[in-house]
């Protein structure tokens, strides 16, 4: 009737006008940084799988650097992911490896030649320049380089190691809501070699930093949506330890089938059993398995998928597998060397809830082309297209 149509028209016209402002080409409603006023940040998208920038956009720029994280934000990531370690003087640092040898120019710093040590790292005697033997001031003297020789080397030596607080500021300074996804990295080693006043542990300092910058709230709460964060770790005891300190959502990372947990020495088969998933779901909102443990691979071809995703989802646990990389050597033959085919398989067939990727721009483009709108936005878009079609009939009259 006329009244119902009037109410519908009144409600939908402002939204149509907004769509017209952003363009009639079905451009996404999540603009890149710089397009919006900080007081009106575009919210985190929650209607499709999360795009998680693994150590930043490290397929293009050396990992864990400010430049890699800012590039990921420009490319449309939902979360920037980082590994947190600690320096000798207790500063929390964004760095993946416990040694500096492979990812920095430490070999060029003769003043540190006597710092090489051998420590037990998860049961393996490891020799190198350990991050825990350097102060923050010393670490800032080093420069980071690209991990893989087949990736762009032009940025080697340009960027420094950054702190956890610097990482957080990058997310908070973005002109749209960008989540963070920090990992409590190698907590056993860190707590052995780094000491904080008052008997505090690595995990305590980690949570304190998050609280300092306003990160709190359970998954999908109003506070969480304002400043989204997932806390991840391969160490179940760390996740359980901090459960009384913060209600931020936690993700239990799962390594390959041959690697036991670093703190409890449990096997892959134990921590993915029904009994353990029933136990850990009281502390975490999801799991982050290596993708080749979910779908085994032989001779670079996928084998029969396991039922891990189904069993996790049955317990209301999210699944965020790692790591998606564009290069041919990382894309299984089933996908015709096309990473978009791989994204499609994992999102639409396997039904994962998020993906860790080295190429956040590629995943963002894929999702914008295949699933750019939430359900309500789809209806408005259809209506807009009809209006465009009607207007086009009068274009040349």
On the question of pLDDT at 394 being above 70, the answer is no
| CA 325 – CA 59 distance, rounded (Å) | 8
pLDDT at 21: 37
Largest CA distance in the chain: 84
User: How far is Cα of residue 124 from the mean position of the Cα atoms in its chain?
Assistant: 28
Place of tokens 């770790």: 233
- Residues 93-119 have a mean pLDDT of 98
By three-state DSSP, how is residue 157 classified? coil
Cα 231 to Cα 45, 277, 355: the distances in Å are: 19, 18, 15
33 burial (CB, 10 Å; 0-12 / 13-18 / 19+) is middle
Residue 31 binned pLDDT confidence (cut-offs 50, 70, 90):
very low
- Residues 221-237 have a mean pLDDT of 98
pLDDT at 374: 86
Average pLDDT score over the chain? 90
Model confidence over 71-89: pLDDT tens digits? Answer: 999 999 999 999 999 999 9
Angle among Cα 41, 317, 222 to the nearest 5 degrees reads 30
* Of 312, 340, 316, the residue nearest 326 (C-alpha): 340
Assess contact for 83 and 96: CB atoms under 8 A: yes
Q: Which residues contact 13 (CB under 8 A, 6 or more apart)?
A: none
Assess contact for 346 and 352: CB atoms under 8 A: yes
Between 88 and 381, name the one with better pLDDT: 88
pLDDT at 40: 84
Whole-number percent of the chain with pLDDT over 90: 83
* DSSP designation for 155: T
pTM: 0.87
Q: DSSP per residue over 262-326, as a string?
A: TTT---HHHHTSHHHHHHHTTT-SEEEEBHHHHS-EETTEE----SHHHHHHHTT-EE--B-B--
H or E element that contains 52: strand 50-53
Assess contact for 294 and 351: CB atoms under 8 A: no
Assess contact for 94 and 164: CB atoms under 8 A: yes
Assess contact for 286 and 248: CB atoms under 8 A: no
Model confidence over 142-195: pLDDT tens digits? Answer: 999 999 999 999 999 999 999 999 999 999 999 999 999 999 999 999 999 999
By three-state DSSP, how is residue 48 classified? coil
| CA 367 – CA 28 distance, rounded (Å) | 10
Model confidence over 2-18: pLDDT tens digits? Answer: 344 344 444 444 444 43
Model confidence over 256-286: pLDDT tens digits? Answer: 999 999 999 999 999 999 999 999 999 999 9
- Residues 224-246 have a mean pLDDT of 98
Q: DSSP per residue over 62-96, as a string?
A: -TTSHHHHHHHHHTT-SEEEEEEEE-TTS-EEE-S
369 burial (CB, 10 Å; 0-12 / 13-18 / 19+) is exposed
């Amino acid at each position: 009737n006329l009244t119902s149509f009037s109410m519908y028209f009144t409600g939908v016209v402002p939204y149509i006008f907004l769509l017209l402002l952003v363009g009639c080409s079905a451009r996404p409603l999540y603009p890149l940084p710089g397009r919006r006023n900080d007081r009106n940040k575009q919210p985190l998208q929650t209607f499709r799988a999360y795009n998680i920038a693994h150590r930043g956009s490290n397929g293009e720029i050396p990992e864990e650097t400010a430049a890699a994280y800012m590039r990921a934000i420009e490319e449309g990531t939902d979360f920037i992911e980082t590994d947190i370690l600690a320096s000798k003087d207790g500063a929390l640092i964004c760095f993946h490896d416990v040694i500096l040898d492979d990812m920095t120019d430490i070999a060029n710093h003769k003043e540190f030649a006597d710092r090489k040590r051998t420590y037990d790292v998860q049961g393996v005697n490891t020799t190198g320049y350990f991050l825990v033997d350097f102060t923050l001031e010393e670490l800032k003297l080093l420069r980071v380089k690209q991990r893989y020789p087949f990736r762009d080397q032009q940025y080697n030596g340009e960027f420094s190691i950054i702190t956890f607080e610097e990482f957080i500021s990058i997310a908070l300074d973005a002109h749209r809501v960008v989540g963070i996804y920090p990992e409590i990295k190698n907590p056993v080693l860190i707590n052995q070699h780094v000491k904080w006043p008052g008997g505090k542990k690595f995990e305590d300092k980690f949570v304190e930093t998050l609280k300092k910058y306003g990160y709190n709230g359970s998954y999908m709460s109003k506070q969480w949506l304002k400043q989204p964060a997932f806390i991840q770790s391969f160490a179940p005891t760390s996740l359980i330890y901090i459960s009384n300190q913060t209600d931020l959502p936690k993700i239990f990372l799962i390594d390959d089938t041959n690697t036991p947990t670093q703190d409890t020495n449990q096997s892959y088969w134990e921590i993915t059993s029904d009994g353990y998933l029933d136990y850990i779901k009281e502390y975490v909102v999801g799991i982050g398995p290596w993708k080749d443990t979910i779908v085994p691979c032989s001779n670079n071809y996928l084998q029969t998928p396991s039922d891990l995703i189904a069993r996790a989802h049955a317990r209301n646990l999210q699944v965020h597998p790692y790591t998606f990389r564009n290069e041919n050597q990382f894309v299984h033959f089933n996908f015709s060397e096309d990473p978009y085919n791989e994204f499609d398989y994992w999102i639409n067939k396997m039904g994962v809830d998020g993906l860790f990727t080295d190429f956040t721009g590629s995943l963002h483009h894929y999702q914008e082309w295949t699933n750019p709108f939430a359900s309500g936005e789809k209806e408005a878009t259809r209506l807009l297209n009809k209006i465009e079609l009607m207007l086009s009939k009068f274009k040349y009259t």
